[in-house]
Amino acid sequence: MDISNGTFNYSELTPENLINIIFNYMGRIAYTRDLDELLVLMADMGRQLVVADRCTLWLVDQEAGELWTKVAHGIGRHTVPMDSGFVGYAIKHNQYLLIEDAYEDSRFNHTIDNQTGYRTKAVLCIPIENSEGEIIGAFQAINKVTPEGKFSLKDVAYMTLVASYSGKALESAQLVYEIEQTQKEIIYVMGDIAERRSKETGNHVKRVAEYSKLLALKIGLGENEADLINMASPMHDIGKVGIPDSILKKPGKLTTEEYEIMKTHAEAGYNLLKSSRRRIIKAAAVISHQHHERWDGKGYPQGLKGEQIHIYGRITAIADVFDALISSRCYKLPWDLDKVVQLFQNEKGKQFDPLLVDVLLQNIDDILLIKKAYTDISEDYLS
């Protein structure tokens, strides 16, 4: 059933249509734990069930005192004050709203219409509760796509059913999201400990993570795998925790013997992480082990060559070296961008995967935006 062209006839929503929509979406929702994906599915299900032009699922952010939506038909992420508009009212009073003409109601928040040029008329809002009866968000359907153009009590019943099921699914997804964010924070801290011992720049691990995700997406890896690399790459140098300070913090060039000791951090990091059964830590083990391998086989610790090197290791290697060159270190000033670009061109097919070098240079503007977003306080040469 397609209502996107605005010509759908409400009489076509037969009991069979209704059941098909519910079972189709609820089956998909049951196996979805990604919060963003879940919001997409729920918004799409709500729009089809009540035959609306748009449907938005708003979530409560108690800490920020805001309502936010990541997914809305026609708009991107948007935040509003907790008590704003119809949604804020429905959540505050825990009651549904059935509005025939939004512009005739003083509670209407015109912000999104003003920004997008859209014309809101009919509105339906339904609060969403979690398992403890707390309001965690609300559905907002806009503009009924029927000749009469207004929502009914039947729509309230349909959307209430969706809200009841959605509350449980959202609660589960939010818990998973919080766990993942906690894992990410711990990984950043662990990676940062290793970097700070060697006096690396404080945001190095965050920049490497973001560069790595960008490169992964640009070479065609899926969003989930790119997120995995983003989560795991901050631990690429975790093995440095076992390197003596006299070597790790040495401001000058290392001796041959010192360099051999420094090189052991790749194997040491792998040994620290390899026994985990968690996918993030397993990926981090691979990255720690292989991010100093070279495309030409002259790297360490295994002397892997070409595609023998895991794609996670190849991606992180480029991200790590790029940031090392363009950032200040205890033993050097940052390189000029032209010099960095020249090095990667020279090392294409030697130290680095040639495809990844091309992708890096083709997306250098986006890379530099990441660099600027995570620039350390002491660095202002790219400002």
Q: Could you tell me the CA-to-CA distances from 53 to 49, 162, 281 in Å, in that order?
A: 11, 17, 43
More confident call, 1 vs 181: 181
Per-residue confidence (pLDDT) for residue 272, from 0 to 100: 84
- What residues are paired with 69 via a beta bridge? 78
Stronger pLDDT, 296 or 276, i.e. the higher one = 296
The single residue of 144, 206, 213, 240 carrying the catalytic annotation is 240
Two structure tokens written together for 124: 């339906």
What is the predicted pLDDT for the residue at 245?
81
Q: What span, in angstroms and rounded, lies between the C-alpha atoms of 366 and 351? A: 23
Tokens at 163, concatenated = 């809200």
DSSP states along 52-116? EEEEEEEEEETTTTEEEES-BTTB--EEEETT-HHHHHHHHHT--EEES-GGG-TT---HHHHHH
**What pLDDT score was predicted for residue 248?**
81
CATH 1.10.3210.10 fits 198-373, yes or no: yes
Amino acid symbol at 353: D
3-class SS of residue 142: strand
pLDDT at 374 over 90: no
- Residue 53: pLDDT above 90? yes
134-180 pLDDT, tens per residue? 898 899 999 999 888 999 998 998 888 778 777 666 766 666 666 56
What single DSSP character describes residue 242?
Answer: G
Q: Does residue 240 carry a catalytic annotation?
A: yes
End-to-end CA distance of the chain: give it in Å, rounded. Answer: 51
Of 223, 272, 216, 220, the C-alpha closest to 243 is 272
How confident is the model at residue 61, as a pLDDT?
87
Assign domain 10-175 one CATH number from 3.40.50.1240, 1.10.260.40, 3.30.450.40, 3.50.50.60: 3.30.450.40
Tens of pLDDT, residues 18-35: 667 776 776 676 666 677
**Every domain of the chain and the residues it spans:** 10-175, 198-373
The Cβ of residue 1 has, within 10 Å, a number of other Cβ atoms equal to 10
- List strands edge to edge, sheet with 135-144: 78-81, 66-69, 52-61, 135-144, 123-129, 97-99
Question: What's the whole-number mean pLDDT along residues 42-71?
Answer: 86
How far apart are alpha carbons 308 and 310 in whole angstroms? 6
Of residues 104 and 79, the one with the higher pLDDT is 104
Q: 64 exposed, middle or buried (CB, 10 Å; 0-12, 13-18, 19+)?
A: exposed
